[in-house]
Chain A
Amino acid sequence: MCYPSANSSHAACFGFMSGMFGVGGGFLMTHLLIFVGIPPAVAVATEANQIVASSVSCGLAYWQRRSVDVRMGVILMTGGIAGSYAGVQLFKLLRELGQVDLLISLSYVLFLSVIGGLMMRESLNAIAATRRGQPIRARRPGAHSWILRLPLRMRFRQSKLYISVIPPLLIGFFVGTMSAIMGVGGGFIMVPAMIYLLRMPTNVVIGTSLFQIIFVTASVTILHSVENQTVDILLAFLLMVGGVIGAQFGAIIGQRLRGEQLRALLALIVLGVGLKLFIDLIIQPDELFSVTRMGFGG
């Protein structure tokens, strides 16, 4: 497994974006890796390995500030590890059928357009509101309290919640599956789900999300190594190094831009990547054939 086409400058570029926007950015990086010629299956598994490192480095600060709900994290993680197992098995099956690239592309088109659309709407509203001179109100949608009143309730002291473990298990499972298929941490799904569905207090949300991402992406890395042999440790290492350097510069630029402008810019990038993937799926490719060594699909 030698993929010299990807190097640390790509990783630095990604780190730059992740530092600038303050997102994990797995969804952009995986795509960037595919774009420079890394096979999609390798990009996904290797990116999961890199996210372990970035989640550890970010998560440590939250851990020291005690803003991690460990019990909630463990529940989410349990669902997440089960989900990652399901995801890797699905990945393996589709790889043998030669359809894994399609699975990755379709998942990305779906998620990038939904997430990009929501982010764009939110940031445009915020920009419009500041222009009118209105204060931005944090809006919380109506309670989905029946979900939280399902059986198997548990007390989460740190989050000041007494809710059923079924919704966090399901959310964890869903995000774990996505993580295995798309090579993302899934924070961009997990964080809104924690705030709006589980009604967790915002001060523990990021720390708890990072806490479970560490374990779920670690599980994805190990499972992909065992089942698909698609983790490239050398490439992951380069990504980690580049990510650190890039994040430094990204954070400096990020501080000079306003939050909502930054989010609108990120939304544009997300929508752009989603659109490009969608176009690639519907226009006739120049080369209809693809070749792999027999038994090494994807």
Chain B
Amino acid sequence: MIYRRHILLAGLVLCFAVAPMMARANTIIADLSKDHISIQSNFAGEKLLLFGAVEATVDGPISDIIVILRGPGENFTLRKKQKKLGVWVNGAAYNIGPLPGFYAVASTGKLSQMVPPDILRQHNIGADAMNINFLSSNIEASEQAEAIAGFIRLKQARALYAEAENGVQIIGGRLFRAEINLPSGMPVGTYVTEFFAFQNGRLVGYQTGELPVDIVGAGHILHQAAYEMPLVYGLSGVIMACFMGWGVATLFRRR
């Protein structure tokens, strides 16, 4: 009996938790300018347009929109240089993850002013709210904080982590658009898009989707071969070099 009551209680709680989600399902509706990203060997990065519309609620029009593009999760090794015998060498190593290899947030304003911190953390919004997991234990909090800051700095430097405080523009109170830069070094895999509509710090609309990112063309074949048939790949490199060298020698002799 007691168990049954617990199940009933859990069910009720679940209903209350899900119901607002369902109610706000059509408050925000969004799409992307592309349904997939193809990385060719000459890929030098591109811009992705994320756009959509928000519907006003009984409390009035929505002005707080957050858009996230998140790459596939990976584990990373972070290393810190130390001075040893007068030379700067890699010292401590931290294994962290899983963390997205790419992470971009665009919003209509400052995240901390739009949404309370606990909600940001709950939905993983913003690099500061990211839950960074250390795979090795016994690391002091100050050391962890320093490593996390270093990690985010490195990712930002390569444009793999980006936050644009005014990256989302609202047009005519209903339409919105955001542009996210996809850098040339972006990892491949299935990306996730998330669209949040907030009103007075409360989540009133949410939509999520997927964006596959693949390497295509010659680059794809080479990439696959390099990892799946490394011997054939290496031999091809050598054969290509021999032909190139022979071709050049023949070409020059004719002169």
Contact = CB atoms under 8 A, between A and B. Distances in A.
A231 B234 CA distance: 8
A17 to B, nearest CB: 17
| Interface of A, helix, strand, loop or mixed by DSSP | helix
Interface stretch (A75-83, A174-182, A277-285): A277-285
Nearest to A101: B90
A52 B234 contact: no
Contacts of A284: 83, 88
A226 B154 contact: no
B90 A52 contact: no
Nearest to B226: A229
Contact of A98 (B79, B226, B241, B244): B79
A206 to B, nearest CB: 15
A240 B241 CA distance: 8
Interface string A220-262: 0111111001010110110011001000000000000000000
A182 to B, nearest CB: 18
Contacts of B238: 49, 52, 218, 221-222
B226 A53 contact: no
B234 A221 contact: yes
Contacts of B89: 99, 102
B248 A57 contact: yes
Indicate the size class of the contact surface on chain A. Answer: 35 or more
A134 interface: no
B236 interface: yes
A32 interface: no
A293 B83 CA distance: 24
A1 B223 contact: yes
B245 A226 contact: no
A99 to B, nearest CB: 6
Interface string B231-255: 1011111101110111111001100
Interface residues of B, number: 58
A225 B231 contact: yes
B147 interface: yes
B81 A236 contact: no
A237 B83 CA distance: 38
25 contacts: A2-B41, A2-B43, A2-B219, A4-B43, A52-B238, A53-B242, A56-B242, A57-B248, A57-B252, A61-B253, A98-B77, A101-B90, A229-B226, A231-B237, A233-B240, A234-B41, A234-B219, A244-B248, A282-B87, A282-B88, A283-B88, A284-B88, A288-B81, A290-B90, A291-B151
Interface of A: 1-2, 4-5, 49-50, 52-61, 98-99, 101-102, 106, 214, 218, 221-226, 229, 231, 233-234, 236-237, 240-241, 244, 281-285, 287-295, 297
Closest 5 CB pairs of A and B: A56-B245, A225-B234, A289-B150, A52-B241, A222-B234
